[in-house]
Amino acid sequence: MTEFLLKYGCNPNQSPSRIFMEDGAALPVEVRNGRPGYINFLDALNSWQLVRELKAAIGLPAAASFKHVSPAGAAVGLPLHGALRQIYRVAGDLPLSPLACAYARARGSDRMSSFGDWIALSDPCDLATALLIQHEVSDGVIAPGYAPEALAILSAKRKGSYAVVQIDPAYRPAPLERKQVFGVTFEQGRNEIAITAALLENVPTKTAKIPAEAVRDLLLSLITLKYTQSNSVCYAADGQTIGVGAGQQSRIHCTRLAGEKADVWRLRQHPKTLALPLRSDLPRAVADTAIDLYVSGNEADVLGEAVWREYFDVRPEGLSAAEKADWLAAADGVALGSDAFFPFGDNVERAARSGVRYIAQPGGSVRDDQVIAAADRLGIAMAFTGARLFHH
């Protein structure tokens, strides 16, 4: 296949639309089911690069959940404990492969943002992973292959229209890339920087030790940022993203947005949240909305008569501001990556409120000394990578 005709471009009025190789070569992708669109392919090709790099760097199967050309979540295939199985909506008796664990983590990182996502898998999709994808609202998936039983399950989604794309894992693009904006062609060298532990060796803070688990999570956050619309900041823990702040004009807004998502992820694991009497007839997406409202809003938001009856069998016990603060105060060991330097120490201050103890950022601000001082005051180890990771 040398080209693939699309229904339309970014919007229905943007036709004709297609993907093709300028040199006339065959496309490195094969559509196994459905008809992916323009944005689907943007998500597919960006997310595939992310999971491929993540597996190469960490050595575990990887998955990503993409929306509008930025990751809502990314993860590697570490086992799931009971609370994560519950908040990720994975049945306790369902056997999980490492790839399925990676997908459950990537999707569960930010379930609100992952609604209607594009999925990327570093390894051929197996039955366990397909069984998880089967029950989620999603536009499509890209992987280097599919087990026959997995392909059958995925091809049946969305009344048979679910987009299933297979990519050649051996494909490598040319070192120069081009795109057009307003009729003008841009050309640049591809961002082929290798995200490895060597980037974390320059640690100017008093707290200098970064344990192996934190190195893993910092690498995960930096690789995620490499394919996130800038400005961007990523919080990571336990082999997965827990908050991605993308496409903000101000660095502190990235840090706040990602931190708020990380806090929601943690509050979903609060005992009161786990025990919520959700109505059994709620679709998954509506149940996620109810949980998000419960952990993000104040008690009046969820305990009003009309609201609780919409989502719950009985009126739930409120999660007070004090209970939230106590639960979040116990967070620790979180890693944070930033795609460009922190211009002020306020980013470090906000990150620490969500349990961040390890930071990787390029450095190079005229106020680096202030940022280092903030990290020292909070007992945070911060590496200066020297590598900016803007992505547009």
Query: What residues are annotated to the active site?
Result: 67-68, 231, 392
| Strand partners for 359 | 336, 382
Please state, in angstroms and rounded to a whole number, the distance separating the CA atoms of residues 381 and 325. 24
Please state, in angstroms and rounded to a whole number, the distance separating the CA atoms of residues 119 and 47. 7
Provide the token pair at 76: 């590697």
Contact indicator for 241, 62 with CB cutoff of 8 Å: no
Please state, in angstroms and rounded to a whole number, the distance separating the CA atoms of residues 63 and 52. 9
**Residues 114, 35, 146, 193: is their CA dihedral positive or negative?**
negative
Tell me, letter by letter, the H, E, C secondary structure of the chain. Answer: CCEEECCCCCCCCCCCCEEECCCCCCCCEEEEECCCCHHHHHHHHHHHHHHHHHHHHHCCCEEEEEECCEEEEEEECCCCCHHHHHHCCCCCCCCCCHHHHHHHHHHHCCCCCCCCEEEEECCCECHHHHHHHHCCCEEEEEECCECHHHHHHHHCHHHHCCEEEEECCCCCCCCEEEEEECCEEEEEECCCCCCCHHHHCCCCCCCCCCCHHHHHHHHHHHHHHHCCCCCEEEEEECCEEEEEEECCCCHHHHHHHHHHHHHHHHHCCCHHHHCCCECCCCCHHHHHHHHHHHHHCCHHHHHCHHHHHHHECCCCCCCCHHHHHHHHHCCCCEEEEECCCCCCCHHHHHHHCCCEEEEEECCCCCCHHHHHHHHHHHCCEEEECCCCCCCC
Contact indicator for 131, 107 with CB cutoff of 8 Å: no
